[in-house]
């Protein structure tokens, strides 16, 4: 076998499995590892190189596993460590790597570390978390006595009072997700040692949850009334400037690299989830010379439909803004650094509903067009489970249809702020994470072939039409298109390594760009709208070789494109 290049992941495609919703092996209505093992051939057929597995560790599941109570075990809901070893072996046999989710900005409040930490002010692990006395002149437990005014990402204050010790602890997410104190070297060593344990077990790297929040700049009041992302800044201060990309984050990641990855052979993957991070900061995280992480997940393009009031202040997604944003990231990381390419994941609404057109008429065409544009950018594409068949948002009619802690709490907070029930639901219907978490649609059977029991979240009723089994039979399907795109990245070095030039940045319907590597040039043209479009390109493209079932044909440089039509041409 030839040696694995250090940057092997540039020509790789990652597939994200959200285990709760992928496939249920034991009929309890919740997806599990045996369920995933029953479908590894789907992943192999698709041709993906890496699976990123959302958390399967032991957890009270307040945030569906992003609240870990034991990093060294699998939650019984998902199976056993043996099942996981089996999954790793199944994937490796098919040449697919497995990347675990690493959630170390916080643990669950049920983790033994936190239990010990909260046992008293003189506990040996007290300093493993952020404990602080009530604000000067205030009595603990009373509103306003929190050490800072910060809001949490899941509504309410970011501090919870512990009456036994008379102090507050910090949680940037739910109260059951206390933040670890990375200033303490013992915490860092415990995390690195856990990571080595997993690598020794055979996993191939980590997707690092909110890793740019591990260094805190100071505990001071945040701004009220600003955008604040998911924070309700009408009632709480924005912790952002104090907790995002903090002063020691690069030092910690470099230390992690030395302690965990430096002495291991190539073939591992490290990807940092980094909300509210600029291109310049992303270059620092991913400059290979700095030895931090291989690539980041940035959020700029998935924040474009947030208004001045933050995540739940929903505004239309504009194609011009999307092009400007993604284009800026292509430029900013052109020479140094690397980006992850994604339109959806377990925290985002379905991409075809948000960026495409999920009406019966254009769902398939728009899902294909979005995939074409995304996969042919420079960066590593991530396929979120179900995107490969164009899965759409769930109906989510009323508050009873919500399961996600963020949506449930946001609904309550929006009502408290004065929204009507319908206004609150409208915002949540646009952005809820539950959309991404409905069962994977395997076939047209009851519950979409996800479970023989009652699913924890109902399958989208559209599964009778939109499912893997039907699309496998149809060579013109979204699924076959994804497979062809993945193969193209493997086969054409220009896709993985070529440079990127945006064309027609001001065209309101057409997304177009070229990629170039030496003498090979790829032209990608996509009408990302539900109306016909025309565009002009250099007429020398008229006779270029079409790829990926391209049918659009220019005449003397003029292109007429049907709604969501794409064209990919190559010149050698």
Does the active-site annotation cover 186? no
Does the active-site annotation cover 7? no
Retrieve residue 492's tokens.
Answer: 């054409």
Nearest distance in Å: CB 206, ligand GLC:
13
Contacts with 99 (C-beta within 8 Å, 6 or more apart), sequence order: 14, 50, 51, 52, 53, 203, 204, 205, 206, 207, 269, 271
- Of 101, 273, 294, 492, the catalytic one is 273
Q: Nearer to ligand GLC by C-beta: 281 or 347?
A: 347
Q: Nearer to ligand GLC by C-beta: 56 or 103?
A: 103
Q: Which runs of E-coded beta strand occur in 37-81?
A: 50-53, 57-58, 70-74
Contact present, 488 and 548 (Cβ < 8 Å) = yes
Contacts with 40 (C-beta within 8 Å, 6 or more apart), sequence order: 87, 90, 91, 94, 96
- Residue at shortest CB range from ligand GLC: 66
β pairing state of 499-503 and 50-53: unpaired
Distance CA 468, CA 109 (A): 39
Q: Nearer to ligand GLC by C-beta: 242 or 442?
A: 242
Nearest distance in Å: CB 564, ligand GLC:
29
Contacts with 156 (C-beta within 8 Å, 6 or more apart), sequence order: 175, 236, 409, 413
Contact present, 568 and 546 (Cβ < 8 Å) = yes
Contacts with 380 (C-beta within 8 Å, 6 or more apart), sequence order: 9, 10, 12, 13, 14, 295, 338, 339, 340, 341
Nearest distance in Å: CB 274, ligand GLC:
10
Q: Which runs of E-coded beta strand occur in 62-96?
A: 70-74
Nearest distance in Å: CB 63, ligand GLC:
5
Distance CA 522, CA 198 (A): 40
Nearest distance in Å: CB 61, ligand GLC:
12
Q: Nearer to ligand GLC by C-beta: 63 or 281?
A: 63
Q: Nearer to ligand GLC by C-beta: 362 or 384?
A: 384
Nearest distance in Å: CB 345, ligand GLC:
7
Binding positions for ligand GLC, rule: CB under 6 A: 63, 66, 103, 173, 209-210, 273, 346-347
- Of 146, 167, 209, 387, the catalytic one is 209
Q: Nearer to ligand GLC by C-beta: 146 or 273?
A: 273
Active site residues: 209, 273
């Amino acid at each position: 076998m030839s040696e694995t290049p250090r940057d092997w992941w540039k020509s790789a495609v990652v597939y994200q499995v959200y285990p709760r919703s992928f496939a249920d092996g034991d009929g309890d209505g919740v997806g599990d590892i045996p369920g995933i093992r029953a479908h590894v051939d789907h992943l192999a057929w698709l041709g993906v190189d890496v699976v990123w597995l959302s958390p399967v560790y032991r957890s009270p599941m307040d945030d569906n596993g992003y609240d870990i109570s034991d990093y060294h075990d699998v939650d019984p809901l998902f199976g056993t460590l043996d099942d996981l070893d089996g999954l790793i072996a199944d994937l490796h046999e098919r040449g697919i790597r497995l990347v675990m989710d690493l959630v170390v900005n916080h643990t669950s409040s049920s983790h033994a570390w936190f239990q010990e930490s909260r046992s008293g002010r003189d506990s040996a692990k007290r300093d493993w978390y952020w404990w602080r006395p009530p604000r000067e002149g205030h009595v603990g437990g009373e509103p306003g006595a929190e050490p800072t005014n910060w809001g949490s990402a899941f509504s309410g204050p970011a501090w919870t009072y512990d009456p036994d010790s008379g102090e507050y602890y910090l949680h940037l997410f739910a109260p059951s997700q206390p933040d670890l104190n990375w200033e303490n070297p013992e915490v860092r060593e415990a995390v690195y040692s856990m990571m080595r344990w997993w690598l020794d077990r055979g996993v191939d790297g980590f997707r690092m949850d909110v890793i740019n929040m591990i260094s805190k700049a100071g505990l001071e009041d945040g701004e009220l009334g600003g955008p604040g992302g998911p924070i309700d800044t009408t009632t709480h201060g924005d912790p952002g400037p104090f907790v995002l990309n903090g002063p020691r984050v690069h030092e910690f990641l470099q230390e992690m690299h030395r302690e965990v990855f430096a002495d291991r052979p190539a073939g591992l993957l490290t990807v940092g989830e980094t909300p509210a991070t600029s291109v310049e900061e992303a270059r620092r995280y991913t400059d290979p010379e700095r030895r931090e992480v291989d690539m980041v997940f940035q959020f700029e393009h998935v924040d474009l439909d947030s208004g001045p009031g933050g995540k739940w202040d929903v505004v239309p997604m504009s194609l011009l803004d999307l092009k400007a944003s993604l284009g800026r990231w292509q430029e900013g990381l052109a020479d140094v650094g690397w980006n992850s390419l994604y339109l959806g994941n377990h925290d985002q609404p379905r991409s075809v509903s948000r960026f495409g057109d999920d009406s019966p008429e254009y769902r398939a065409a728009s899902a294909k067009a979005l995939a074409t544009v995304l996969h042919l950018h420079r960066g590593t594409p991530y396929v979120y489970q179900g995107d490969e068949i164009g899965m759409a948002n769930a109906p989510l009619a009323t508050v009873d249809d919500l399961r996600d802690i963020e949506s449930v709490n946001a609904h309550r907070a929006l009502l408290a702020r004065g929204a009507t029930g319908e206004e609150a639901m409208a915002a949540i219907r646009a952005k809820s994470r539950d959309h991404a978490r409905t069962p994977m649609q395997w076939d047209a059977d009851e519950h979409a072939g996800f479970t023989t029991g009652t699913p924890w979240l109902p399958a989208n009723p559209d599964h009778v039409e939109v499912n893997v089994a039907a699309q496998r039979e149809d060579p013109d399907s979204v699924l076959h298109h994804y497979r062809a795109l993945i193969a193209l990245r493997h086969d054409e070095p220009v896709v993985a390594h070529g440079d990127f030039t945006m064309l027609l940045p001001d065209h309101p319907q057409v997304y177009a760009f070229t990629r170039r590597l030496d003498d090979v040039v790829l032209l990608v043209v996509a009408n990302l709208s539900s109306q016909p479009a025309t565009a002009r390109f250099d007429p020398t493209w008229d006779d270029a070789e079409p790829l990926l079932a391209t049918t659009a044909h220019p005449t003397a440089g003029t292109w007429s494109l049907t709604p969501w039509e794409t064209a990919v041409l190559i010149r050698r």
